[in-house]
Amino acid sequence: MMTEPNPDFDPTDAVIARKLRDVLPPADLRRQLLALAPEAPSRWPAWLMSIGAGAVIALVLIGSSLLSPPDSSAAVRDLARFLDSSFELTVVGRPLPELKAWLAAKGHPTGAIPPALAAKVPEGCRLLEWNGIQASLICFETPSGVVHLVTFPAGTFRDLSSTPRFAQSGLWSAVMWRSADADFLRFGDSGAESQRLLL
């Protein structure tokens, strides 16, 4: 196939092009060229960018703390204060299965109550809400005093496991644990040893 001769063709160009084909560019040529390029002006002042970055970090931290389950210590403190106040039970004088059925019908957790405590006489129950989380309160009469069992949905607290933990909040001894179907916080004013007997 024939082509028209290029009027701009210079035979010297062909010689230079052949010689340049054998020359390798420096390894850091790209970096050198970019270093010479002028920086694009920022649309935002540096101080405003710093504030924006700080706000994003704060939102991520707040969001992650809101999404992760709370620690049980705040609930123990708040519920101990509630138990110190004068509160009323909603349903009284009923056997434990009826109390659990009433709580479940209201959409509140009941869980598998430990047999040693389930064998005691229940005084009554009521609905609770802590930090927007529905909970149930069942009170039992025991030889060492009244025991208050607060039941939360399983996984409410990040620090609970099947191994009971003991705490003291004011005059209340608390024992906390997780079962397969609920998180439990139990309060008594008789000390940790009496609490241990009801597990």
Buried/exposed 170-192: b ≥16 CB within 10 Å, e otherwise: eebbbbbbbeeebbbbbbbbbee
Check if the beta carbon of residue 155 is closer than 8 Å to that of residue 127: no
Q: Is 83 helix (H, G, I), strand (E, B) or coil?
A: helix
The per-residue pLDDT for 55 is 67
What is the identity of the amino acid at 58?
A
The per-residue pLDDT for 69 is 73
Stretch 165-172: mean pLDDT:
90
d(CA 33, CA 173): 71
Residue, of 190 and 139, whose pLDDT is higher: 139
Average pLDDT score, the chain? 81
Domain edges within the chain: 11-65, 69-197
The helix, strand and coil proportions of the chain, stated in percent and rounded to the nearest 5, come to 35, 25, 40
Neighbours of 106 (CB within 10 A): 13
Q: Which two tokens stand for residue 85?
A: 């106040």
Q: What is the pTM of this model?
A: 0.65
pLDDT class of 63 with cuts at 50, 70, 90: low
Check pLDDT > 80 for residue 86.
yes
Q: What single-letter DSSP state applies at residue 199?
A: -
The per-residue pLDDT for 68 is 65
Check pLDDT > 70 for residue 176.
yes
Please state, for a pLDDT cut of 90, what percent of the chain lies above it: 47
CATH class given for the domain over 69-197 = alpha beta
